[in-house]
């Protein structure tokens, strides 16, 4: 695990070559633990991501009385259904994990006991009203700071009633919280999204024998439902793979293979954009694990051209926008990213931190109200030097990859944040730089 504040990253000065296995998918790892806990019987999880966020979910479920045995990235979960969960004797600490606090808000709202969800400073700044308010419409008794807008969240679980709810923004976390509440609620819950969001929860629910009907942007489930333990194999995280895709695209003559990466179509908008930019990225050895598409990704360095990124693609690549901005600095022309206001309420305001830190090391980039404009200069190197992740794991890794086209090393401040999603990132980057 990364346990220091500042880390120096230095470009290899030579092509990147090799094969890598990405860490387990963060979204799927969270859900595997939660669904394993509420199912009846034993669930095994292979490839669990041992990043800080997923560990937070694991520890919260243990605090709720679930027996979980660990051996490396393998988990054995002894689920006893919703009734097997019990009142925690302490505040449930979600750390830096927005997924944990939002999904557990839905789960706990329908359970007959009192609980409190809290986290770090960043979590207490992130909007929670978007999940608290629809749960209140279901009859939940929960509240937060500043008019039920922010954590900590206190929950007095009770019997809920189903709702027909239109989500104001496409949010997989809010949708998932309402699904977890709906699974415990008598009757039909209907959720309508304004645009497509990640569907890992729906796929995971079906893997555990649950039922949810989806037509376009409308999801219907009838509760209560009985789930059965199963064996889950977690694919590599595409959002982690994105940093190595970028490293190869930025480094002449590179050739990388990333093995068994999850290719959920709600997550891979970056591939669509890279194809428009002329990147050489191939998807091979396609298969399916527990309803999730998986493949190997082959990347070869190529000359890139600018692109316009916005609209319906944004939810499919929201976490990859910082690294796409870095890639765009090497593309011929001007890349425009718009419709990405959701970035402002991530671990940091990722529009601002991406622009400020790339500009600090020498990129030609400017901030807009809902995105950024990147002026590409192929072959022009950055100056390097100190840059600050602001405690955001994706900003930290983006800056580390930027060292591949920097004259001086990039010193990433608050680099310990990288362990949130990719504890072995530095080691794997060094492996292909040899």
Return the active site residues.
319
310 a known binding residue?
A: no
394 a known binding residue?
A: yes
* Dihedral of the alpha carbons of 310, 316, 319, 324, in degrees to the nearest 10: -50
157 a known binding residue?
A: no
- Strand-by-strand arrangement of the 187-192 sheet: 164-166, 187-192, 218-223, 213-215
350 a known binding residue?
A: yes
φ and ψ at residue 331, rounded to 5 degrees: -95, 145
Tally Cβ neighbours within 10 Å of residue 112.
13
Side-chain-side CA neighbours of 340 within 13 Å: the count stands at 29
Contact of 66 with 37, CB cutoff 8 Å: yes
Considering only CA atoms, give the Rg of the chain: 21
Contact of 262 with 235, CB cutoff 8 Å: yes
233 a known binding residue?
A: no
71 a known binding residue?
A: no
For residue 430, what are the contacts with CB-CB under 8 A and spacing of at least 6?
none
- Distance between CA atoms of residues 337 and 319, nearest Å: 13
φ and ψ at residue 398, rounded to 5 degrees: -60, -45
| CA distances (Å), origin 96, targets 136, 243, 348, 367, 383 | 24, 21, 11, 26, 31
188 a known binding residue?
A: no
Where is the binding site, in residues?
Answer: 26-27, 31, 98, 126, 171, 173, 319, 346, 350, 394
Where is the binding site for 3-phosphoshikimate, in residues?
Answer: 26-27, 31, 171, 173, 319, 346
Where is the binding site for phosphoenolpyruvate, in residues?
Answer: 26, 98, 126, 173, 350, 394
């Amino acid at each position: 695990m990364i346990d220091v504040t500042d880390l120096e990253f230095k470009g290899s000065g030579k092509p990147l070559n090799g094969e890598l296995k990405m860490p387990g998918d963060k979204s799927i790892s969270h859900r595997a633990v939660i669904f394993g806990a509420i199912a009846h019987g034993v669930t095994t999880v292979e490839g669990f991501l041992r990043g800080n966020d997923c560990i937070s979910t694991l520890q919260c479920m243990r605090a709720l009385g679930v027996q979980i045995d660990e051996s490396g990235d393998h988990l054995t979960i002894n689920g006893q259904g919703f009734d097997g969960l019990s009142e925690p004797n302490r505040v449930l600490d979600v750390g830096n994990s927005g997924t944990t606090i939002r999904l557990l808000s839905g789960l706990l709202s329908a359970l007959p006991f009192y609980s409190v969800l809290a986290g770090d400073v960043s979590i207490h700044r992130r909007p929670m009203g978007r999940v608290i308010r629809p749960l209140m419409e279901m009859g939940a008794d929960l509240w937060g700071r500043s008019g039920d807008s922010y954590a900590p969240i206190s929950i007095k679980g009770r019997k809920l009633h189903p709702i027909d709810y239109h989500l104001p923004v496409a949010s997989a976390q809010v949708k998932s919280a309402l699904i977890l509440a709906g699974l415990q609620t008598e009757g039909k819950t209907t959720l309508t999204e304004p645009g497509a969001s990640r569907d890992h929860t729906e796929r995971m629910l079906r893997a555990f024998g649950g039922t949810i009907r989806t037509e376009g942007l409308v999801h219907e489930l009838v509760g209560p439902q009985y789930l059965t333990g199963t064996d889950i194999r977690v694919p590599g995280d595409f959002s982690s793979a994105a940093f190595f895709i970028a490293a190869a695209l930025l480094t002449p003559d590179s050739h990388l293979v990333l093995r068994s990466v999850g290719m959920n179509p709600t997550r891979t908008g970056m591939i669509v954009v890279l194809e428009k930019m002329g990147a050489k990225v191939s998807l091979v050895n396609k298969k399916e694990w527990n309803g999730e598409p998986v493949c190997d990704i082959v990347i070869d360095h190529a000359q890139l051209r600018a692109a316009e990124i916005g609209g319906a693609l944004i939810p499919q690549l929201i976490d990859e926008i910082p690294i796409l901005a870095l890639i765009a600095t090497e593309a011929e022309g001007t890349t425009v990213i718009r419709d990405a206001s959701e970035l402002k309420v991530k671990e940091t305001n990722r529009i601002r931190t991406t622009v400020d830190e790339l500009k600090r090391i020498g990129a030609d980039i400017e901030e807009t109200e809902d995105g950024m404009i990147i002026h590409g200069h192929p072959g022009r190197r950055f100056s390097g030097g100190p840059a600050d992740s602001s405690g955001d794991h994706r900003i930290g890794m983006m800056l580390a990859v930027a060292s591949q086209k920097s004259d001086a090393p990039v010193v990433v401040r608050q680099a310990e944040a990288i362990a949130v999603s990719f504890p072995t990132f530095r080691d794997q980057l060094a492996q292909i730089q040899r």
